[in-house]
Structure 1
Amino acid sequence: MKAFCLFFLLLLPFHNYAQKGAAFSNLSMENGLSQNSVISIAQDQKHFLWFGTRRGLNRYDGFQFRIYTNNPKDSKSIPHNVIDCLLADSFGQLWIGTINGLSRYDNKNDNFIKVKILNDTINCIYEDPQKNLWVGTYNGLGLLDRKSGKFKIFRFNKLDKNQRINNIYSLFKDHEQNLWVGTGYGLIRMTINNGQSRAVLFKNSAHSSTSISANYITSITSDKANNIWIGTDKGLNLYQTRGTFAHYTHNSNNINTLVHNDIRDIICNKDGTLWIGTQEGLSILNPKTKIFTNYKHNPDQNGGLTQNSLHSIFQDVSNTVWIGSFYGGVDALFPYSTGFKTYRASGLISSLSSNIVSTIVEDDRHNLWIGTEGGGLNHFNRSNNTYTHYKSIPGNNNTLPSNLVKTVLRQKNGNLIIGMHEGLISIFNPATKAFTRQITNVKDTSNNRGSADIMTILEDSSGMIWVGSRDGLNNISSSSDHTLKSPIEKKLLSRYVQTLFEDADKNIWIGTTKGLHLYYPKTGKLAYFTKKKEMPIVCSQITSTVSYKPQMENFVLGPILAGFPYLIPEQGNLKPTHKKMVCATTMYLVLLKIKEVIYGSARIMDCQYSIR
């Protein structure tokens, strides 16, 4: 299941990010992260992102965080809140390394299984190309026997008596099957043949300019040409022949050098560049030209790095790069240039009346009518970039009754129907700039006034006006000062109507908090899309719709809180033509292809769905 799409990134092409205009997005405690020190990052097979912090483990679904912490009374909680490393392996298992041992996430029971391997601090977890799992600790290197679940332990005291040689911080296996082991006392190249290991130690030497630059090895990777790059606390090293190293360090007189010598993490990006996280910012290295592009936190720059002390870098399946810092949470750099321009409220120039935008419609001249929360209605003239504000003025009937605009519909005659807070509705004539009618929404057939916000308004092909709110489904007549109850409402699974849409076949789609409904005006039949009990992650709360018609097929875009919609037939024998429905959720983008709908049978419609 392609569960994690990170807000539609998987649909977009991959581009090179290494440009000075790169804009970072940030997630921090303000967004629900348990703590702002993000030391490790991984992504599981369901595409959930996992962030290890110094105060618990965080699972991110693209919308919200779920936090896992240690509970001393629960043996199935994580062994410690300080998470130093994470790995999602090729078998679908998530491994968690803490300062109090190793654990594995049990996805079925949503808890953790403690793994016996030297109840010690786990510094790194690595799966090699042969799918062997290696674990670096403060007291040796572990190799997992997946059949027995036990670890074989390697120690390197024969290479040097200094105990720091068994402090394992980084691991990497090259194309020649050499396992490179980064320790606190040098770099080890290890090979295993017929069960026997052989190791060579590379240490810094003050007497050799081609020895490795430092003995504290923090990270190891290779580029696409299979060159081995080693990060240390004293610069970057490129392994050369016969145990020699080329050094790349910071030069304050050259902006195209490493941003800082204290390296915490290195990854090889899918575009071939090396991303290097340091104590003082991010460097992106072109391995061919040996030129560094650097990024540092700038308090005067929007969209820059949140903080310079970087500890983890991870590239997800959508090619977004996530960068964990010690104080600033996690920054994300998306693999494409959005080209978006942001329009904000300003007291100095013609601008929006409020930064909280709830709805937008376009008129025949391609100008925009923008509804806001607290700022009323805005008209944006694209030809001269000016705004006109329409706000509530108490005692003036030719103004909005409320500045809390929830939805705007542009009618076929050009008038705007504006839905607002507490069931208020206004009709506005843009040609005369006059509010011609004020309508109240009702909550029952006795026409008692409702108080729920107007969520959605639709004018169908026959001219009927539909109104959806928590107070149900209503219609607007041509003369009444209040709405009228729709007879369809009593058939809905929920009275809370959040979205309305008419498709090319003139059928009405109704989104509620308990499912998606399809109404056929010609027959009066109503079909439902609801959740399926056996689906692990599913909800049917439809919140909005947008349509477009590529190549004669009908598309509906509707955010759902989570999961896959499907149809429960009611009655009849209708067989609609092929349709596709795209459901954008807060977690997923779902493409649902409806092949046929057969009423009068117990089976669910034949459909296909996929996650984007």
Structure 2
Amino acid sequence: MKRKILLYVLLFVSITLRGNVYFKHLGKTDGLSQISVISICQDELGRMWFGTLEGLSCYDGNSMTVYKPSQDSVRSFLGNNVDNLVSDKQGNLFFISDYALVRYDLRKEQFSLLKQRANCLHVHNQEVWAAIRDSVFKWDRQKEEFAFIYQLSVKKYITYLYVDDNECVWLGTTDGLYRVDNLDNPAPVCVIPKVNVLSLYRDTKGKMWVAAFRQGMYTIENGISQQFVDEQNFLLSNNDIRCFVEDDEGSIWVGTFNGLNKIDTLGNVSCYKKDTQPGSLKHSSIFSLCKDSQGTIWVGTYYGGVQYFNPQVDIFTHYSEGVGRKDCLSFFFVGNMVEDKRGDVWICTEGGGLNYLHRDSRQFTHYLTDEKSVSPLFSNLKCIEYDEGRDCLYIGTHKQGFFCFDITARKVVYHTEKMGKSLSKIILRGDSLYILSGDGLYVKDLKQETMGYLYPSIRETHRAGSSFLIDSKDYIWIAQHDQLVRINMKMPEEKYIYKYNERGLGKFQVLNIVEYTDGTLYFGTYGAGLYVFNPAENSFKQCSIFDIRYCYNLSVIQGDYLAVSCEKGLLVYHPKTQEMKMIDAENQLHLSAINDGCGLLSCSDGEVFVGGTSGMASFMSHSLFNPSPRYNLYFSSLFVNDKLVSCETSDRILETALPFADQINLEYNENNILDFSRFDLTD
């Protein structure tokens, strides 16, 4: 019976697509032994091991332990270059150092130099395989040595080996890719002739990914009767492919000489390269990829250290400043925002004019700051409102008054300063535009083209304010520097004045007001936290949640959660269930800070945009309360009478490494301190 082999080489064209992953970084300042990371693996405790050009590093989520070459072959090893790191999850690490095969016993904390000089290593179902020249070996735990399994009959030098779930052995060589289906009847099948195989990876759908030295990439569908068929061509950033890994969402990440590429389940490709923007790769040349037990992807770079991210847990997209770049904002301080009828977002900045975000492409267009443009320059924008019927924006500025921006024409259509030069907030209801400025509260009739004070005879409305709200009962609330004003819009003579530090309201100014889905009103203050209004008692009560004091902006987001931007970040709180989550500004939103004036927008599809002093972040609200991945907790260090104890110290307190110890032997006069480690980078 003839064997049919169908194979297609994938062609590559350089691309410049940029994704939205925010990479975290480990380098020399974090204790990494050297910044060229050529191999990565995870042990059974959850610790990450990094092989570099100058030694081995172990990271437990808090600190780094470094193993450098030494003449002491028990506590160290002789080589510099550490490659092909694998863990059998049974207490052993194996790696190749300067062509020598080395084992590290995690329980004894000892290195041992094995007799063989291996080409490459692979682990499958806790069994470690090694290729030595043209032969395959497997680790024998009883004899503690690698036992011979198979010799490739074509006498090729094996560069990479992979054992799949069907126990088929794939052998990449310097002159072709071979597969052995049955080691008892080892007739190799040449899958791809005349290629120098650098790396092999099989995804969860059974597709084999093959990296060929400077010859691009192959994908192989392993069919019946040894048919091999590839499915699709991909456009990647470079033809020199090094490594692969699949994330928990089914996307394949491809490391190349010039960029990290992501191929999603629909075949869309995005590319990540070294950039000056925050959260970018430190180096574009990728040596190694690894997915840990929590789904975090670890990236080893050439002279850029380690980068890592979790596609499922890192749900926050960061947008930074980059003048002239379509993937960046025009200015770092992001103010108020609105969504238009297309689902796109219009953004006020406090120095870079108006920004438009096309949400499908995540590309920006910058308006009103180009000196060559025929439109007037408006750099410092304070408030914005969208008119769906007229498809235009009403925008208030700092000291430049108020104007309308026609979205279809992409130009300013009128501009007036009749109501004051600096505006705080604009609200559209029907054909009436309510505007709060430094001179008070105005209303503009868009049909009649008339404008004036909303209440000419109510002097309290002729003052500056920080914000205002028209609630569902047609009361208008105005927050001023020393008081709140409430007026019945149907009967303006019904007026209430709430001085700060009275009726339960704190002594600090109200910055923003929001109405919850059940009609409850919340007030964010500048120093006293969040307050709720009790209409039955005509009083206020402080909401003691998460010890926040500065509430810059408020919004009700999908799922009936109340979002509060504050000094700590973004608090998401459900008033009825009491469920809450604090999203840290720096560590999660990747914003240096959130401050007064920073915007907060909840879009119709549930995406939330958070403005900050160093850009903007967004996330899908339904992703916030996804369950966190599991993590390991173990004892990491033991101090007895203020001295660090290990299985190598002469006191014999520990018979094995502490994380693996069943018991600790102490005398009555020996005091101890145990440190815990928890490898969890998803917080």
**TM-score band, normalised by the shorter chain?**
0.3 to 0.5
TM-score normalised over the length of structure 1: 0.48
TM-score normalised over the length of structure 2: 0.43
Indicate the structure (1 or 2) with the bigger Cα radius of gyration. Answer: 2
